[in-house]
Amino acid sequence: MIRLKTKVVIIGGGPAGLLLSQLLHTRDIESIILEQKTKAYVLGRIRAGILERGLVNLIEEAGCSNRMHAEGFVHNGTLVSYDKEIFRINFSKHTNADVMLYGQNEITRDLYEAREKTGGKIEFNVENVSVQDVKSATPFVEYTIAGTRHRINCDYVAGCDGFHGVSRRTIPRKNRREYEKIYPFGWLGILSETPPVNHELIYTNSAHGFALCSMRNANLSRFYIQCSLNDHPDNWTDAAFWRELKRRIPKVYADQLITGPSIEKSITPLRSFVTEPMQWGRLFLCGDAAHIVPPTGAKGLNTAASDVHYLYNGLKEFYETGSSKHLNLYSEKALQRVWKSERFSWWFTSLMHRAPNQSHFDLKIQNAELEFLRSSSAAQQVMAENYVGLPY
């Protein structure tokens, strides 16, 4: 067995784990990242990239913001449409803040580059990860690479390994409570090498279902339409997708939409999930390991970033002052913000989608709430505050 020692073991080499590791490095706190897949696999995952102001600040603090500011797109508003109405939520007007559109895979690329430049240790292709003795002062993590068993002795373990990772399951089932909501629809999404139909996102509630026009950069666009959970990407030709998208979004944008071959096509189920607590001894859960939100409003990565903020500051306090005060409060503080993000994602999802079992009364209420959002400055301010990100 190969034996190693570090201060913090981070399970998961996605953006949350990388960001935590790089932030710890800025305070000379050692960490080792364990990633199940290869670097190329992680970088190949093209995900949403709407960054709240809090995440932008964390990337700046980590010293990885140059390319984000050079190539990212600042959005100070978004469009919402329903029936024949189109209105804009002005983030800058209501919050004096904005969001940054910068691909999640690009954040990951920047963070990998930063960790490599500073000699950060990242183990890829790890298997059979086991987290041990986290209720003691001497936890350790074991794993296998190419048939060889490794052990890392550490002070703390950060579980950034997603919903299917080992970290959450390390907390005994009898000691955790899980909350879940499954939505009765999914998103059929395509990626195309075409310019965006609008410089800001367009969220649409139509009689035919939800649609979203998004972007990755000036020549790479992402589009979604609500679909059945029983559907399959193979059931949709590119032409059929474009036809359906055009009949759902406002005509002024449908008429100017530039279509092209899809380079990726997939269906995403929608669900809300939270596990409590997010801390077990010296093990801390971050991101999808602890919670999942529907993609409406792009809170997944941003909620993981708030977890990183609380954990990083707790670890910084411990190593610089010896106090465990904020580490002991991690689960409580993180969950307070998690549930607020869950509420916003649930509300926005419920507002913009047509559920299979909606009654005529439900539709009237939904339409009334959309009309209230369109006509009320106070309602728009509440949405804008949530969209740009609640304070940590």
Catalytic residues, which ones?
75, 203, 295, 299, 387
Task: Give dist(CA 53, CA 305) in Å, integer.
Answer: 11
Helices within the chain (DSSP H only) = 15-26, 39-43, 53-61, 66-71, 91-95, 104-117, 166-170, 238-248, 251-254, 300-321, 325-328, 330-352, 360-375, 377-388
Dihedrals phi, psi of 388, to nearest 5 degrees: -75, -15
Q: How far is CA 58 from the centre of its chain?
A: 15
Write down the residue that tokens 């059979």 correspond to.
Answer: 128
Q: How far is CA 160 from the centre of its chain?
A: 12
In sequence order, the 6+-apart residues with CB closer than 8 A to the CB of 327 are 156, 284, 311, 314, 315, 317, 318
CA distances to 6, 148, 164 from 49, rounded to whole Å, are 31, 37, 22
Task: Give dist(CA 19, CA 24) in Å, integer.
Answer: 9
Task: Give dist(CA 193, CA 219) in Å, integer.
Answer: 6
From the list 215, 230, 258, 184, the residue with the least C-alpha distance to 79 is: 215
Q: Would you tell me how many other CB atoms lie within 10 Å of the CB of residue 136?
A: 10
From the list 78, 76, 80, the residue with the least C-alpha distance to 100 is: 76
3-state helix, strand, coil in the chain (%, to 5): 40, 30, 30
Task: Give dist(CA 246, CA 154) in Å, integer.
Answer: 54
Q: Would you tell me how many other CB atoms lie within 10 Å of the CB of residue 232?
A: 10
From the list 340, 371, 372, 366, the residue with the least C-alpha distance to 353 is: 366
Contact 62, 114 (CB under 8 A): yes
Amino acid (one-letter) located at 261: P
Contact 151, 2 (CB under 8 A): yes
